[in-house]
Homo-oligomer: A and B are copies of this chain.
Amino acid sequence: MIKVTVWNEFQHEKESAEVRAVYPNGIHNAIADFLRSDEIEVRTATLDDPECGLTEEVLKDTDVLIWWGHIAHDRVPDEVVARVRTQILTGMGLIVLHSGHHSKIFRSMMGTSCNLSWREDGDLERIWTINPAHPIAKGVGRYFEIEGVETYAEPFGIPEPDEVVFMGWYEGGEVFRSGCTFHRENGRIFYFQPGHETFPIFYHETVQTIIRNAVEWAAPVLRTPGLKCPNVKKVHKTCKD
């Protein structure tokens, strides 16, 4: 059983009827709904919950944290970010969706700006599987299409990913590394580009397959106390001649 916590900023849905029309129960619940299964247990958490819903107790009981945020990144307290980060380093997986590229947690794990260019024209995106052997690409074909997305364009200010699994093509002329993996100590991180609040992307079957695959991939092999910085004793004293 993999334990997933879906975190959503959950602001757009409260403020905009247009967004509410797409995600009436919030993006977090839309994601939770398709993830719940015999193998995956899901809870949700949002910005307005006490401590953003991300207490140490919750995080320690989370195998994979999914993150969606957009207009309120700055309102996530630094101490919550530090707490999430600590748990990632011990082995909690992190899946960052779409505009979460600018979240404090993603930026702090990358060490870079995570900047990109963008436009909101409802372009067709065709997403190519460039690493078909990757567990996250299981069941996804050579490419799939999403009608109507927010376009993200390179250069994307991230370190060279450990693996680029998907690359996006937009009809307006842009490309983007749409699915990338990173390892940070014990934690596995997957960034996935699709997922704007005004487009019904989280109802797209292949998007759901990919996020489900990513949950399985990001779940920890081993959850550890995390690396420390101990003063150790000399262990080797022998010599042969």
Binding site for B on A (CB under 8 A): 89, 91, 102, 108-113, 115-121, 123-124, 126, 128-135, 138, 142, 151, 153-157, 159-160, 162-164, 167-175, 177, 182-187, 220-222, 224, 226-241
The answer to whether residues A169 and B173 also contact, given A115-B228, A133-B183, A232-B153 and a CB cut-off of 8 A, is yes
Query: A110 contacts B111, CB within 8 Å?
Result: yes
Query: A89 contacts B172, CB within 8 Å?
Result: no
What residues of B have a CB within 8 angstroms of the CB of A168 in the complex?
175
Query: B236 contacts A237, CB within 8 Å?
Result: no
The answer to whether residues A227 and B119 also contact, given A133-B186, A237-B240, A237-B241 and a CB cut-off of 8 A, is no
* Distance between Cα atoms of A183 and B224 in the complex (Å): 26
What residues of B have a CB within 8 angstroms of the CB of A186 in the complex?
132-133
Give the residue name and chain of the B residue nearest to A241 (CB).
Answer: B237
Give the residue name and chain of the B residue nearest to A131 (CB).
Answer: B155
Query: B232 contacts A177, CB within 8 Å?
Result: no
Contact partner, A222, options B116, B138, B182, Cβ 8 Å: B138
- Highest count of chain B CB atoms <10 Å: which of A120, A187, A226, A239: A239
The answer to whether residues A177 and B130 also contact, given A118-B232, A124-B238, A221-B138 and a CB cut-off of 8 A, is yes
Contact partner, A227, options B123, B128, B157, Cβ 8 Å: B157
Query: B112 contacts A229, CB within 8 Å?
Result: no
Q: 13 A-B contacts, Cβ less than 8 Å apart?
A: A111-B184, A115-B226, A118-B229, A119-B231, A119-B232, A124-B238, A126-B236, A132-B222, A133-B185, A133-B221, A167-B167, A238-B239, A239-B241
